[in-house]
Amino acid sequence: MTGPTRKFRNRWGIPEPLAREVYARDATCVYCNVEFSSTDRKAKRSWEHIVNDASIITRENIALCCVGCNASKGAKPLGDWMDGAYCRQKGISYSSVSEVIRAHLGLDV
């Protein structure tokens, strides 16, 4: 498969219309706000399930984050991860994350 559709293919079963919507919404990492890069491995975009359940494929649970944040978060619950050392070191806070993350946390958006 070639052309623009190829970048929306994923192993998570995210339908192309939703993938396109998330790509448009998440222009930077939803956690650290880094611009995605095709050359810096840690800044490459990766699919994120905010709630670590691959069966929840909704616009509220699917996001794009950098590989660095995704690897750090792993299977940790979002709140636990946000209170951890990685987020403190990277300056990731409840007020600095993207709107989709703030909404998930029940914060004013």
Q: What pLDDT shows up at residue 108?
A: 74
Please tell me the predicted confidence (pLDDT) of residue 109: 58
The predicted-structure confidence for 2-39, as pLDDT tens digits, reads as follows 444 566 667 778 999 999 999 999 999 999 999 998 88
Q: Where are the domains of the chain?
A: 4-104
For 87-106, give the DSSP string.
HHHHT--TTTS-HHHHHHTT
pTM, entire model: 0.88
Q: What is the mean pLDDT of the chain?
A: 90
Cβ contact 101:61 at 8 Å: no
pLDDT of res. 67: 95
Mean pLDDT score, 83-88 = 97
Question: Residue 35, class by beta-carbon neighbours within 10 Å (0-12 exposed, 13-18 middle, 19+ buried)?
Answer: exposed
